[in-house]
A = this chain, B = another copy of it.
């Protein structure tokens, strides 16, 4: 949960000695009080990833935290160690758009979790290529826009971009949104579009993954939350979950069972994004929790 006056700092870099002491020393030296530190060195590739949450108050007495000052000081640390870093003021909530088509279970899930105070973001707008789910947006008091895909991909995505910009959207989430996005769109929103695929990637890419799974006779089915890229169902994976199925179940039952997995994967992928827990390196994620 976002706490007033707290910040989250993410750092990734080539592994080297002294990193944690340098980073935490700079925070302490600027009057920050570390609340939580998660860190991982991926020895297979020699990379260091770190996420630190700290409070601007309650640190060393005498030191008063200033975001501007900290950034200046930390930039020097970053230069020394060639860090890739970001700092987030946790009081500023991310603005998340939900794109839907006709299926409601992922939309309901994000709205219910959000209403329950369980997702730390704003959801200012819902966009669809179909009118079917407008009533859900209405009952949650969120503006609903229907965009017409028949006007051609370019015009359609121009409309989409217009709405996303109007609402200052940080993250686009595809809640079983059945419309392929263009390479241009994916590049413009790179690493800021989370899609849910109703199959356990990299198996069962493309259309009708539950039909594929049933036909193959797999004993476990799943869903995958990933960043959308130009290459369909190939983007970096953020979260996955599975459920055991029986050969006594029909394709129809696979689809029904899959819904619970999909909605969970959808929200858990978004939650990790909002927690700044996702590090990207060479086409895969490192989710550090």
Chain A residues proximal to chain B, CB less than 8 Å: 17-22, 24-25, 27-29, 33-37, 39-44, 55, 58-60, 104-105, 108, 112, 116, 118, 139, 200-204, 214-220, 222, 236-237, 239-242, 246-248, 250-251, 256, 259-260, 264, 283-289
Contacts and interface: CB of A to CB of B under 8 A. Distances in A.
B25 A21 contact: yes
Contact of A28 (B21, B41, B116, B256): B21
B24 A21 contact: yes
A24 B217 CA distance: 29
Contacts of A21: 24-25, 27-29, 34
Copies in the complex: 4
A13 to B, nearest CB: 14
A223 to B, nearest CB: 11
A246 B286 CA distance: 8
Top 7 closest A-B pairs, CB basis?
A217-B284, A21-B28, A203-B203, A17-B33, A247-B286, A219-B240, A40-B248
A40 B247 contact: yes
A246 B216 CA distance: 27
A95 B262 CA distance: 29
A24 B20 contact: yes
Nearest to A55: B17
Nearest to A39: B37
A260 B250 contact: no
9 contacts: A40-B248, A42-B248, A44-B250, A108-B112, A200-B200, A200-B220, A202-B204, A202-B218, A260-B264
Contact of A34 (B20, B108, B220, B259): B20
Nearest to A15: B35
A284 B19 CA distance: 33
Contacts of A241: 220
A211 B202 CA distance: 14
Given A17-B58, A21-B25, A33-B18, A217 B236 contact: yes
Nearest to A237: B217
Given A203-B203, A220-B200, A60 B24 contact: no
A251 B58 contact: no
A116 B105 contact: yes
Contact of A203 (B59, B108, B200, B236): B200
A85 to B, nearest CB: 17
B59 A34 contact: no
A284 B239 CA distance: 29
A284 B213 CA distance: 11
B139 A247 contact: no
Chain B CB within 10 A, most for which of A202, A264, A286? A202
Contact of A201 (B35, B218, B240): B218
Contacts of A218: 201-202, 237, 240
